[in-house]
A and B are shown apart, each in its own frame.
Chain A
């Protein structure tokens, strides 16, 4: 579990043993326990970009946070003090990010987020050394709200787990959907049986259901929902429909609409190279988390080409330019250093034997986030 991976990228360069790595990146992510598939995809996407670029001047130190905030904090301290990393990245979960990011940026390190982007770090707590390359947490939920409204659903039932990201989710949804709700419930985090909630949905007279239940929670909910005979259309953020879990959900997910800023069928050169490269190297389709890891690495490399990481102001300016070919197409940073990007609506389809997503529309164009005004940068 405490495996330590030292990876000097690029095969050929590894032969030149004397080649000294110029930049040290510390990646703290979840590689064991229930949420491991997310961290593994993040890591694999990130390392694929470094490998494809053939860079020998970037050393990535990867450690497993076991999805525990205290472990993440210890790892960050170790990486900062004894490994002397120049930059941190990789955290999947918002509660871990809140434990690590403010302390790391206060010690002068850059942090590039591959996933977690809680509201606290986007508004008053924004920091010149903190960039989110993924999204702001509320974004996909906002898009689901906008989609629900534009489709003409008039009485959605909404549910999310009872923890900070769950509250952000329903608030984000309601920011763009201002109509009547059939019901609004918070479930327990990690809950596996949704029979009681499904019975409430059945009794509520709803015309659609919005749900945010990442990982295993979503698998359970979707399977039980399909069995229940409740036949209302489902809408959700991409997290319950990711490549890693769709196969476990199976038929129950077919046709469900979900919102995402990335999909494997976004038509651009960078995305094609990413999807093909990922499939070839790891023998599976990439997920949203892999795409975010890949973009984060490419952003980092683009900034390294322009500025020395020791010169913080120049390096920050280079990052802010976002001068890299994102797999998402158009990509730039808002004033609070969170992405401005399109957010799509996808539908779950079956391609041969594999369940996957295809884009069916755009929910929000050039969406920044709701916290830009609160950030004083």
Chain B
């Protein structure tokens, strides 16, 4: 196993991690601030990707497409919050799961009704296509490199928003004590709509960014949603910093596990069997990681709630 392969896999793990972070950040904010389990977060991811594909198809501009993804998903998020989610804050989690699961079905079939059953075309922009050669000789796709940089930039922006702005103070206060900040005169319903739209916008952005290298199709959000939940549980629910660390951890574990575990099993097994057993363990690796973290810290790495 060469150093080049390992370097490339580490980059892959980082890239996967920052995209998971964009999904998980919204999810953890919504859960942390409003105590709501939003299964429909994956649908917002899908809406972002479809909006980007539609706008890229009509205008040919990738940046406009990203903007459209952000706006469409944030709008959809705000609308859903106003119309449906708002009624669920005081219900127990099972009701929330039921209602947001219904939203998944509605969004999926609605998207099919609008765009049809066939996958849409969305590609990386010309100025980011093809591979670049990094110092050390690693050949790596320019677009994925841009995703890593962009992901970290969004993480930094979110950190500034949460720690340095008035809205951020309200969000943090909301996580700590909802009744108290309402009593202090903060318009809590507006804050909820804002947070929900922010989370939705991030998910939509992730959908568009990832959609350019994967397939834009109905149901694309659900597999990512499961991983995003794993991330927020590992990171500690409500913690943006925790979500970032956990997302990178999950991304690296998943990618590196896929190549190192089969190699490790080859040390004491015949190669064909080692590959099968190794890849079976690799697909479990992130869940084993989650279990281990929860044994060590039951509220997650950065979780505050007892």
**Residue positions of A touching B, CB distance < 8 A:** 1, 32-34, 36-37, 40, 162, 184-186, 188, 190, 192-193, 195-196, 199-200, 202-203, 215-217, 219-220, 223-224, 227-229, 244-245, 247-252
- Closest Cβ of chain A to B124, distance in Å, is 6
Supply 18 A–B pairs (Cβ within 8 Å), ascending by A: A34-B218, A36-B218, A37-B118, A162-B279, A193-B12, A193-B16, A195-B16, A199-B5, A199-B9, A199-B12, A215-B215, A220-B215, A223-B212, A227-B130, A245-B119, A247-B121, A248-B217, A250-B121
Cross-chain contact B218 with A192 (CB below 8 angstroms): no
Residue contact B279 to A199, C-beta cutoff 8 Å: no
Q: Tell yes or no: B21 within 8 A of A by CB.
A: no
Known: A184-B275, A220-B214. A229 touches B141 (CB 8 A): yes
Question: Chain B: which residue is nearest A188 at the CB level?
Answer: B283
Interface residues on B, range: 35 or more
Contact B139 A202 (CB under 8 A): yes
In the assembled complex, which residues on chain B have CB atoms less than 8 Å from the CB atom of A252? 123
Across chains A and B, which 10 residue pairs bring their CB atoms closest together, nearest first? Answer: A229-B131, A219-B215, A248-B119, A216-B215, A195-B12, A220-B214, A227-B141, A36-B117, A203-B5, A34-B219
Q: Which residues of B contact A250 (CB under 8 A)?
A: 121, 123
- Whether B118 contacts A248 by the Cβ 8 Å rule is yes
A252 CA / B212 CA spacing, docked (Å): 12
Return chain B residues, CB-CB under 8 Å to A216: 119, 214-215, 217, 220
- Residues of chain A within 8 A (CB-CB) of B16 are 193, 195
Q: How far is it, in angstroms, between the C-alpha of A203 and the C-alpha of B137 when the chains are bound?
A: 13
Closest chain B residue to A195, Cβ basis: B12
Q: A223-B213, A229-B130 are in contact. List 8 more A-B contacts (CB 8 A).
A: A1-B109, A186-B279, A192-B214, A195-B12, A203-B2, A224-B214, A227-B144, A249-B121
Cβ–Cβ contact B121 & A248, under 8 A: yes
- Across the interface, which residues of B come within 8 angstroms of A186, CB to CB? 275-276, 279
User: How far does the alpha carbon of A223 sit from the alpha carbon of B216 in the complex, in Å?
Assistant: 12
Selected contact of B117 from candidates A40, A185, A195, A217, CB within 8 Å? A40
Alpha-carbon distance A36/B143, docked complex (angstroms): 30
With a cutoff of 8 Å between Cβ atoms, the chain B residues found around residue A196 in the complex are: 9, 12, 255, 258-259
- Residues of chain B at the chain A interface (Cβ within 8 Å): 1-2, 4-5, 8-9, 12, 15-16, 105, 108-109, 112, 117-121, 123-124, 129-131, 139, 141-144, 210, 212-220, 223, 255, 258-259, 275-276, 279, 283
By a CB distance below 8 angstroms, the chain A residues around B12 are 193, 195-196, 199
Number of A-B residue pairs having CB atoms within 8 Å of each other in the complex: 118
Inter-chain CA distance A285–B258, complex, in Å, is 39
Given contacts A40-B117, A220-B215, A244-B118, contact A192 B223 (CB under 8 A): yes
Q: How far is the CB of A231 from chain B (nearest CB, A)?
A: 10
Complex Cα gap A1–B118 (Å): 17
**Contact pick for A227, options B143, B258, B283, CB 8 Å:** B143
Q: A196–B285 Cα gap in the complex (Å)?
A: 15
Task: Name the residue of chain B whose CB is nearest to the CB of A191.
Answer: B223
Q: Which residues of chain A come closer than 8 Å to B117, judged between CB atoms?
A: 36-37, 40
Taking the nearest CB of chain A, how far is it from the CB of B61, in angstroms?
Answer: 17
Residues of A within 8 A of B4 (CB): 203
Q: A202-B8, A229-B130 are in contact. Are A219 and B144 (CB under 8 A)?
A: no
B216: nearest chain-A partner, CB-CB:
A248
In the assembled complex, the CB of A294 is this many whole angstroms from the nearest CB of chain B, namely 19
Question: Please, how many angstroms separate the alpha-carbon atoms of A322 and B96 in the complex?
Answer: 55
B8 CB contacts on chain A under 8 angstroms: 199, 202
Instruction: State the CA gap A34–B221 with chains docked (Å).
Output: 11
Looking at the assembled complex, report how far the CB atom of A30 sits from the nearest CB atom of chain B, in whole angstroms. 10
Q: Bound complex: CA of A228 vs CA of B55, how far in Å?
A: 25
Report the minimal beta-carbon distance from A222 to chain B, rounded to whole angstroms. 9
- Which residues of chain B are within 8 angstroms of A34 by Cβ–Cβ distance? 217-219
Q: Chain A contacts of B9 at CB under 8 A?
A: 196, 199
**A residues near B143, Cβ cutoff 8 Å:** 227
Judge whether A229 and B139 touch: CB under 8 Å.
Answer: yes
Residues of A within 8 Å of B129, CB to CB, are 227
Residues of B within 8 A of A251 (CB): 123
Complex CA gap A200/B217 in Å reads 27
| Contact between chains at B213 and A224 (CB < 8 Å) | yes
Residue of B nearest to A38 (CB): B117
Q: Are A36 and B112 within 8 A (Cβ)?
A: yes
Q: Taking each of A36, A184, A185, A248, which has the highest tally of chain B beta carbons within 10 Å of its own beta carbon?
A: A248
